[in-house]
Amino acid sequence: MAGLRAVATVGEIDRVAAALALRLAAAGWEEETLVGLSAANGPAFLAGFLALRRARFAPVLLDAGAPSTAQGAVLGLLGARGRLAAPGGWAFAPERWELTTLRPAVPAGVGREIGAVMLTSGTTGSPRGVVAPSAALVADDAQLAAVMGLAAADRMVAAVPFSHAYGLKSLAVPALVRGSLLLSAETPSPLAPLHLATAGEATFLPTVPAFLAAVARLAEPPALPASLRLVVSAGAPLSAEVSAAFRERCGRPVHVFYGASESGGITYDRPGGAAERGTVGEPIPGVEVELVGEEGRVAVRSAAVADRYLPEPGPELAGGRYLTGDLGVWKGSELALCGRVDDLLIVKGKKVDPREIERLLAALPGVREAAVFGVPAPGGAGRAVGAVIAVTDGELDYATVTGFCRERLADYQVPRALALVSELPRTARGKLDRTALLALLDTSARAGA
């Protein structure tokens, strides 16, 4: 297609995968054990993934941008036998891959039927492996293809990392199962997804709220190609404001997709605009969604639910059911998320809902987005409320924000730590980067107790 500089064919990827499988077989590692896969988006990831499966290893999907020491620490925690790493998404000649042998005390055996092990921190904060059978990955692909109307002829913009569950299941698996064309940047850049969509006549763009917000703020957003029929947002909550702004500026509705590493797709917004209705759409056909307990914790059953966690099993993932950390309510046939079980803060003996404070801050002119969470109280006495706020340059200051809060909130709800920034820090998958947020508050001004 015009405008595309490099193309990797199915035959080329297959040949590289076959050569890598031979190298893996010669490494002397026990079959049906874990091996890390570090490869950026592109043909390298697909070739490495196929090679590991053909050599009867379970791929542990690593963030290709993470340092090798961090990757090694995670693999050591899980009991992986080795690591297969490519120098880049398009640098996928067999001789350029690096094989590293690890020596866990007890190599973790997972069985031949395992398709992939995805990494998630869940509610624990520590890395955990989500063990997904091949059958679960295929079931998820079939459910998503049916509800989104995806087919082999679709041309998909690879704007989400394949190593994350969202990218694996929305992009890599469809390419491997149905042969859908992937459009992947050789050199990632902020606007690469839009350039790829135009050059490759894309039909499907899965992305994250941070990207949609950035595009909507451009003085002159690039025109989307007429071929693009589906823009999907997942990975983090999409605000009504961003959804509406993108629709108005770019002429396409945003379809919300809610899922998890442990369960695959949970709900989907067929008509578009769910964020503007305050929901995440309806349960995907084949997925059973239940609200558990008085608080309404979201529980999921489907053929796409993963098997278990590594290194230790967890009660929230077992027996074909995944008990999420999300709280929800039904709005007609659609699900609305209203917080997480670990969100509530206890400040001076009282419960504080961070989402309530975020909604209030969003109503203050000049605030684009806010993240509220618990921090150590001044003097180390218990917990206090902290807030990192993305503001329009020059429109707000510390006194204005805290004064606005004091007029509308109880004293214990007012942020005691506050940082004003141009953008909230996010991870590669579009989620708020909690470590970076806390670091911002560590250097910010602090109010009195």
The residue among 3, 2, 1, 68 whose CA lies nearest residue 36 is 68
State yes or no: pLDDT of 303 exceeds 50: yes
* Residue 313 banded pLDDT, cuts 50, 70, 90: very high
Q: Distance (Å, rounded) from C-alpha 124 to C-alpha 132?
A: 19
DSSP class of residue 3 equals: T
pLDDT of 225 reads 96
The predicted structure's pLDDT at residue 329: 94
Question: What average pLDDT does the segment 399-417 reach?
Answer: 90
Rounded CA gap, 349 and 327, in Å? 22
- Using alpha carbons, select from 294, 292, 299, 243 the residue that is nearest to residue 267: 299
pLDDT digits (tens, 9 = 90+) for 84-108: 999 999 998 999 999 999 998 788 8
pLDDT of residue 1: 46
Q: Please give the average per-residue pLDDT across 401-428, as a whole number.
A: 89
Least confident segment among 253-267, 375-389, 401-415: 375-389
Q: Is the pLDDT of residue 276 over 70?
A: yes
Whether 233 and 185 have beta carbons less than 8 Å apart is answered as no
> Which letter, b or e, does each residue of 63-74 get, where b requires 16 or more Cβ atoms within 10 Å of its Cβ?
bbebeeeebbeb
Residue 311 has pLDDT above 70, yes or no: yes
pLDDT of 445 strictly over 80:
no
Domains of the chain, start order:
10-112 (3.40.50.980), 134-340 (3.40.50.12780), 345-446 (3.30.300.30)
Q: What is the reported pLDDT for 124? A: 46
**pLDDT, tens digit (0-9, with 9 covering 90-100), for 315-344:** 999 999 999 999 899 999 999 998 778 777
What whole-number distance in Å separates Cα of residue 347 and Cα of residue 36? Answer: 42
| Ramachandran area for residue 28 (φ above 0: left; ψ -120 to 50: alpha; else beta) | left
Residue 436: predicted pLDDT: 86
pLDDT in tens, 31-82: 999 999 999 999 999 999 999 999 999 999 999 988 999 999 999 999 999 9
The answer, yes or no, to whether residue 290 has pLDDT greater than 80, is: yes
Q: Is the pLDDT of residue 23 over 80?
A: yes
3-state secondary structure of 417: strand
* Angle separating helix axes 240-250 and 209-217, nearest 10 degrees: 50
Residue 358's SS3 state is helix
Mean pLDDT of 368-381: 78
Instruction: Determine the pLDDT at residue 380.
Output: 55
Question: In this predicted structure, what is the pLDDT of residue 345?
Answer: 80
Structure confidence at residue 447 (pLDDT)? 47
Residue 449: pLDDT above 50? Answer: no
